[in-house]
Amino acid sequence: MKTSEEVFDVTIIGGGPAGLFAAFYSGMREMKTKIIEYLPYLGGKIPYFYPEKVIRDIGAIAEATGDEVTDQLVQQAMTFDPAIVLGEQVVDLERLEDDTFKLISSNGNVHFSKTVILATGFGTLHSVKLEHPEAADFEEKSLHYTVRKLADYHGRHVLISGGGDSAIDWALELENIAASVTLVHRRNEFKGLESNVTKLRKSRVRMMTPYEILQIHGTEGQLRKVTIQHKDNKHDRQDIAVDRVVVNHGFQINLEPITNWGLEMADGMFVVDSSMETSMKGVFAIGDIAHYPNKLGLIAGAFNEGPIAINHAKKLVDPKDPVVPLFSTEYRPLTDKE
């Protein structure tokens, strides 16, 4: 157990896009900042699930891969040298008599902060695994739950299982890279974005619906064949030759133990007001985990929520500070570098 008596102005729980940009803005506000991230690296789910996926919904960035966006966010967040703690999950929060928060991690480490910003996304994410006893023998070899390097699929026969946005996106992304792409979904309807579903139906991707994976075949970690079965007609089985299988069956989300901190929740998210403050004074929520009317779950939206939370956290830390609007183009420590 490690206890740091150092008290930070703000501790951001979560090192994804929302948390990273909030850390940058916190630095401009000259607040003593710490980021605590559950994963062993910064970036959140983007570098884990979408490292080579092209992102186009950030203003002024026509397109960039997940890794490229993450690299820029990390570089920006490090501008003011925030303290970084990786591989720790905060499991308990306690308000002390002086209104300082005591944060305790699952490994017993203790942190102190005047304010807290929750930027946890939907919590710790784990891909839903393929429910086959032999699946583990092929995982991270020829069976994957995300596409990390597109080059690994060049000239391969790929089967993707799933019918949501991720499955459709990867099918379209791999269409011109793989030798063949087969998309297997247990329903006839797809749940992805309408425009992408239209692209899918016009693509060379072979769609098999309503089917699901029945058996997988291979040796020494290399898949060679997948047997699929019709969802309604169990006698309808087909074998598909494969080199790679990508399973996109969604995520298992774990928000515990934060849900036990007594914060008001709605639809699995923390309710916030116009200042991004939760029902507990001094604790804010931004990004996917924040709930308010007409919420739009875009990265661009999270980039706005972070500064709002930081500005109001600054008021709590230094009530005499007027906290006027602050822009990087006018911030002298930054403009002097130019």
Q: Are 51 and 28 in contact (CB under 8 A)?
A: no
pLDDT score recorded for residue 268: 85
Q: Are 147 and 174 in contact (CB under 8 A)?
A: yes
Distance CA 275, CA 265 (A): 16
Residues of the chain falling short of pLDDT 50: none
Give the percent of the chain with pLDDT over 90. Answer: 72
pLDDT score recorded for residue 338: 66
Distance CA 83, CA 70 (A): 18
Q: Which domains does the chain have, with CATH numbers?
A: 3-125+252-335 (3.50.50.60), 129-249 (3.50.50.60)
Distance CA 199, CA 194 (A): 9
pLDDT score recorded for residue 314: 96
Q: Are 153 and 178 in contact (CB under 8 A)?
A: yes
DSSP-derived secondary structure letter, 279: S
> What's the whole-model pTM score?
0.74
User: How many beta carbons lie within 10 A of that of residue 193, not counting itself?
Assistant: 13
Please name every residue paired with 241 in a beta bridge, in sequence order, or none if there are none.
225
pLDDT score recorded for residue 305: 97
pLDDT score recorded for residue 106: 92
